[in-house]
Amino acid sequence: MNTRTMAILLTLSLSGAVQADATSFLAQEGLAGKTVEQMVNTIDQSTQSRPMPYSASINATQLMLTQGEQKYVYPLSDKFYLSFAPYVQQTHPCFNHSLSGYQGELANTAFNVKITDKQGAVIVHKNVTSYQNGFVGVWLPRNTEGTIEVTYQGRVAQAPFATYDDSQICMTTLRLKSV
């Protein structure tokens, strides 16, 4: 067997080992057999306290899971995940969302959310409850811009959003103010 053949076999063997590690990790965390969208929803809505025992983060184009030295990357579909944490008194800066680490101020809180595009068409209008981590996540169409409005106990927050490949997916600027 020549050196090139051995290198190809080693590469194939290692990629198989990485795939086996990923499969084992996903099974261990209850994510096996789920689509990337379902994995994001499951992790973000998890009732585990933050930070979680593994790292999960999402940007505009991919989900990244890290456990120890192993890193698994999954491309997102044709939808864009916008994660937001309305607040009254305290927040933190954010651009990409840490599904496993961030904690918003208002956990398990009911809000009314209205998301419209630039033309005024309603994309989402519903009552939601923030997850244990204080965030709410919604899947939106890609390549659009608009406004998100959140209401809570006579308070309102409003901000622009965009869903491009370089857009911010973690919105922590929704300060709820009395109307």
Query: Cis ω on the peptide bond leading into residue 160 (within 30° of 0)?
Result: no
Number of H helices, E strands in the chain: 2, 12
Instruction: Return d(Cα 166, Cα 80) in angstroms, integer.
Output: 11
Torsion of CA 41, 47, 50, 52, to 10 degrees: -70
Inter-residue contact 97 to 169 (CB < 8 Å): yes
Give the gyration radius of the chain's Cα atoms.
19
Higher pLDDT, 18 or 28: 28
pLDDT at res. 155: 98
User: Average pLDDT, whole number, for the chain?
Assistant: 88
Q: What is the pLDDT of residues 111-135, one digit of tens each?
A: 999 999 999 999 999 999 999 999 9
Q: What is the pLDDT of residues 49-81, one digit of tens each?
A: 888 889 999 999 999 999 888 899 999 989 999
Q: Which two three-digit tokens encode residue 154?
A: 């006579």
pTM: 0.85
Higher pLDDT, 13 or 179: 179
Inter-residue contact 177 to 149 (CB < 8 Å): no
Mean pLDDT, rounded, for 3-17: 43
